[in-house]
Structure 1
Amino acid sequence: MQTLADKVVVITGASRGIGAAIAAAMARERAKLVLCGRNKTRLKQVAKSLAGAEVVTISADITRPAGMKTIATTAVKHFGHIDIFINNAGVGLHKPLTETTEKEFDTIFDTNLKAVFFCFRVILPIMRRQGFGQIINISSMAGKQGVPGLAAYSASKAAMNVLSEAVAGEVRNDNIKVSVLAPASVETNFMSNLSKRSRTPSRAKQRLSVEEVADAVVFMAGQNENAWLSLAEIR
């Protein structure tokens, strides 16, 4: 394992849940953090909770190229480079596909897939110029096996997985890693609300905590330069 101390780590969806937990875990490793999200107030609260960490917060819309460019420009301006970029932001919707509107479908794919595409387009050229870097995309086990009621979400994560695998092959010779972390059910607000609406008994005790997911991200980020962990599943 390599140290993450002083590594510049960008995290999207960092204002709560898994993103906030990743920020806390990276802060414990003494990484320099760029926290991104739409909610400025919550981002500042997360940053304030990371006592002693070097943190920059950015409110940006990652579903638009301009938002991703703002994140990249800010990170490089403050820290000079980007070591690790974590695409954590994601949205889900529990609804039969036949009842899902086009707008809802587009929102899911814009956040879960198109934002990753924009990340690749904007961040990879920076990492190529640096000669190093890693992108970690937070996926889901739903991307491996479609979940009834989460058809659009499952499809977006499956597409993310395949996109990441293809791009990983494109940049491997540039000393850039592209990795995917696919957790099973995680105890987040989305899953809690889903359980309340579901007719089936809650499986909260079987869910991963956000801290467990964050620890897995730290493990992936800390792999030695010669180790290429492209896809990891945690249950």
Structure 2
Amino acid sequence: MNIVITGGTKGIGRALAEEFWQQGHQVLVCGQNSAELQALAKSKGGERFYATSCNIRELAQVESLRDFALQQMGSIDIWINNAGLAKTTNSILQTSQQDLETMVTTNILGTMQCCRVAAVLMLAQGYGKIFNMLGGGSDGEYFAGMGVYGSTKRSLDYFSTALAKELAGSGVIVGRIRPGMIITEGVVREAKADLANFQRRRHFANLICDEPETVAPYLAAEILKCNKSGHKIAWLSSLKISLRMLRGLVNKPQDKFSRYGL
């Protein structure tokens, strides 16, 4: 398979890229940090792994990303929209104008542009899969500090459903991914920014949060076998949360955050 992953230098995007590459697929990741992109590509020895800079808020750069992927891999079988920004320590009114605009234009406009560019290509091919990474708030549930971010992910949930219906019967599959609570660089940054609040919910976070490399194998397997448009791949089900909470009443969970200086 030839796979494109936006926002593929960190977190779940990078973990998925590593997992697909280890399985023998060709992978292309994009991001905005040239040094990180070069280091990641170099670590793979130039074999079946490509990296390029792309700001998904800019349509011309998304089109260049598509062209580069075709140049390197010949076709695109799977396109995963993972790039996004999460600022989750402030209320809606406390969120800066810059953070507001960046979250909305990256998470919504950027993802929509990627979907449109990928869909046009895949319609011409007659096949392909597009997956959008959802997150907290995508199901409409409210979380403190996530008013703006959650709204962008709620929007993507609707958009993904709409696109799946519009492309029904075309050979292009549109799916959604709910990776659960992943410990990413952004999560660590937000925790350090509001350390007192994090310490209050540390026990709960240790129960429900996972490392990217723990989740990636399951998500990759589900992405590869998905053949139904509109499908939602979810790692952290309600049953799984309930079981973890019950275990937490009996056994103290492993601390997953100390390694990050928390």
- What's the TM-score once normalised by structure 2's chain length? 0.82
Higher RCO, 1 or 2 (CA under 8 Å, sep at least 6)? 1
Equivalent residue number for residue 27 of structure 1: 21
Alignment of 1:102-113 (within 5 A): 102-113=97-108
Paired residue secondary structure (2:131): strand
Question: What is the CA distance between 1:33 and its match in structure 2?
Answer: 1.1
Equivalent residue number for residue 234 of structure 2: 233
Equivalent residue number for residue 64 of structure 1: 58
Report the identity percentage: 25
Aligned residues: 228
Equivalent residue number for residue 156 of structure 1: 152
Separation in structure 2 between the aligned mates of residue 188 and residue 78 of structure 1, nearest angstrom: 29
Equivalent residue number for residue 9 of structure 1: 3
Q: Which runs of 5+ in 1 are unaligned?
A: 1-6
Paired residue secondary structure (2:167): helix
Equivalent residue number for residue 255 of structure 2: none
* Match status 1:211 vs 2:205: no
Question: What is the CA distance between 1:111 and its match in structure 2?
Answer: 1.1
Paired residue secondary structure (2:93): helix
Q: Which runs of 5+ in 2 are unaligned?
A: 237-262
1:119 to 85, 91, 114: 114
Equivalent residue number for residue 178 of structure 2: 182
Equivalent residue number for residue 259 of structure 2: none
Question: What is the CA distance between 1:107 and its match in structure 2?
Answer: 0.4
Letter in 2 for 1:143: S
Q: Deviations over 1:168-194 (max 9, x none)?
A: 111121111111111221111222233
Structure 1 residues 9, 172: CA separation in 2 closer, same or farther (over 3 Å shift)? Answer: same
Tell me which moved more, 8-17 or 184-193.
Answer: 184-193
Separation in structure 2 between the aligned mates of residue 192 and residue 102 of structure 1, nearest angstrom: 22
**CA RMSD of superposed structures (Å):** 1.7
Q: Deviations over 1:174-215 (max 9, x none)?
A: 111111111221111222233331422322343022123322
Equivalent residue number for residue 201 of structure 1: 201
Paired residue secondary structure (2:168): helix
Separation in structure 1 between the aligned mates of residue 179 and residue 136 of structure 2, nearest angstrom: 6
Tell me which moved more, 38-47 or 122-131.
Answer: 38-47
